[in-house]
Amino acid sequence: MPAMSPILIGTFGLALFFSLLILRMPVAMSMLVTGFLGIAALNGLPAAYATLSGEAFEIASYLELSVVPLFIFMGNLAGLSGMSRDLYDAAYAWAGHRRGGLAAATILGCAGFAALCGSSLAAAVTMGRVALPEMKRFGYDDRLATGSVAAGGTLGYLIPPSSGFVIYAVLTEQSIGQLFIAGVFPGLLLTGLFLAAIAVVTGLRPEMGPPGPPADWARRRAALKRTGTFAAIVAVTIGGIYGGVMTPVEAAGVGAFLTLVVAAGRRSLTRESFKLVVLHTLRTTALTFMILIGAHVFIPFMALSRIPESLATCLVQLPVGPTGVLLVILGAYVLLGTFLEGMAMLVLTLPVVFPAVVQLGYDPVWFGVMVVIVLEMGLISPPVGVNVFVVKGVAPEVPLNAIFQGIWPFWLAMLLCLAILTAFPQIALFLPQRMF
């Protein structure tokens, strides 16, 4: 009986991977099982065992990945110390008196908190607990209120420090520091587009976001003053990376230490709360590392199957030119984001599309920004929309359908952001090119 071709084995492997996902096996374990069995089928059990042990050790000992637990720890402490509340209060004091101002304050608060935590889910949960009761109190439409929290939370994936950039950097062997810095201007751009979306919605339907009571100048100054600690920590960490004073790992360590000092100084750090912060950090870190270990077993299997190589060749040879190929890739990402978890999507697609993108002459750092924005779109796209379900957990009385209706103006804003960055890639590349 003739042996099966590598491509056929790879096809069976992909079918197994999706079957395991449908059976609700975690993404990390689905990749691990599929990759191990696929390498065993192609190169034998010794090679499979060697890949499993070698990749697990390599990921666990990869120094640059220590930014993950440090920034997660930093974000958890920021939420505990009340920095998230300070950010929302400042945005509320300055913008809450305008139409849709509370929703705008939520977006600004999420953007600020994203600069500390790097997690979209953490930003959505933390700001949702702070902002949703206020918007409900002032009669905001449930769709605008929950949509702004779900969309604002996604900024944690783009504004540095971003876990999405860390995963992309590891999978494509790019600089974490350059990717972090590349996300600054696109993050500000997307924040501005979210604010514009709120202005358009409340301009067309003023009753969806009635203005709140105005704050006097003394309250505004006091609220802004309370955010000084946050601004200082962000300036030290992100500014240190950009200035070449610190590596991302060193910046993460300094930021985590400063946030710990602030939490202790505000007397919000009890033994029980610190234990919860550490446990949550360990849980999230373990999940991230398991996904990376699974990816580094799955990707060699895909490479041995020659499926990525064949698909990349097909992409490059499409008779639509480099811009057409890019639009095909981004369109495929948008479609995949409607039913596939973001990390799984990165692992499945990057071995195929990244070589094609580089071969077509696109900058890999710029493409990383584009990919992260598309992953953000997937976080609020039906039917998977992880951030939507997170907001549903914070506001169980709001129908799920209403939350999905509320995200569409922000989803379109993300699409517009992609179009702007495609037309003007220097928005993402200006800072990294000055950095090195």
- The pLDDT mean for the chain works out to 87
pLDDT of residue 1 exceeding 50, the answer is no
| % of residues, the chain, pLDDT over 90 | 29
Which contacts (CB < 8 Å, 24+ apart) does range 22-28 have? 26/290, 27/291, 27/294, 27/341, 27/343, 27/344, 28/287, 28/290, 28/291, 28/293, 28/294
pLDDT of residue 280 exceeding 70, the answer is yes
> Tokens in use for 327?
């639009």
> Tokens in use for 254?
């300094």
Q: How far apart are CA 385 and CA 393, in angstroms?
A: 13
pLDDT, one tens digit per residue, over 285-343 is 888 888 889 888 998 998 898 888 888 788 888 888 888 988 888 888 888 888 777 77
CA 8 to chain CA centroid, Å, is 34
Sign of CA dihedral 192, 194, 199, 203: positive
pLDDT of residue 427 exceeding 60, the answer is yes
pLDDT of residue 344 exceeding 80, the answer is no
> Looking at residues 104-118, what average pLDDT do you find?
83
Q: How many alpha carbons lie under 13 Å from residue 411 in its C-beta half-sphere? A: 19
pLDDT of residue 367 exceeding 70, the answer is yes
- Report yes or no on 228 lying in a domain: yes
pLDDT of residue 436 exceeding 70, the answer is no
pLDDT of residue 2 exceeding 70, the answer is no
- Report yes or no on 296 lying in a domain: no
* pTM of the predicted protein model: 0.85
pLDDT, one tens digit per residue, over 186-215 is 999 999 999 999 999 999 999 998 887 888
Residue 349: which pLDDT band, with cuts at 50, 70 and 90? confident
pLDDT, one tens digit per residue, over 12-47 is 998 998 899 888 888 889 989 999 999 999 999 999
Query: What is the pLDDT at residue 289?
Result: 87
Buried-state track 122-132, b at ≥16 Cβ within 10 A, e below 16: bbbbbbbebbb
- Decide: residue 23, CB within 10 A, 0-12 exposed, 13-18 middle, 19+ buried: exposed
> Tokens in use for 129?
């607990």
- Report yes or no on 10 lying in a domain: no
pLDDT of residue 248 exceeding 50, the answer is yes
Report yes or no: 168 and 430 within 8 Å, Cβ to Cβ. no
Number of domains comprising the chain: 1
pLDDT, one tens digit per residue, over 135-182 is 888 889 999 999 999 999 888 888 888 878 888 998 898 988 899 899
pLDDT of residue 249 exceeding 90, the answer is no
- Report yes or no on 58 lying in a domain: no
Report yes or no: 431 and 181 within 8 Å, Cβ to Cβ. yes
- Report yes or no on 392 lying in a domain: yes
Query: What is the pLDDT at residue 3?
Result: 62
Query: The domain containing residue 130 runs over which residues?
Result: 65-291+307-435
> Looking at residues 410-432, what average pLDDT do you find?
94
Q: How far apart are CA 342 and CA 377, in angstroms?
A: 10
Query: What is the pLDDT at residue 76?
Result: 82
> Looking at residues 205-230, what average pLDDT do you find?
87
Residue 67: which pLDDT band, with cuts at 50, 70 and 90? confident
- Report yes or no on 27 lying in a domain: no
* 161 prior amide bond cis, ω within 30: yes
- Report yes or no on 38 lying in a domain: no
Residue 118: which pLDDT band, with cuts at 50, 70 and 90? low
> Looking at residues 85-91, what average pLDDT do you find?
83
- Report yes or no on 18 lying in a domain: no
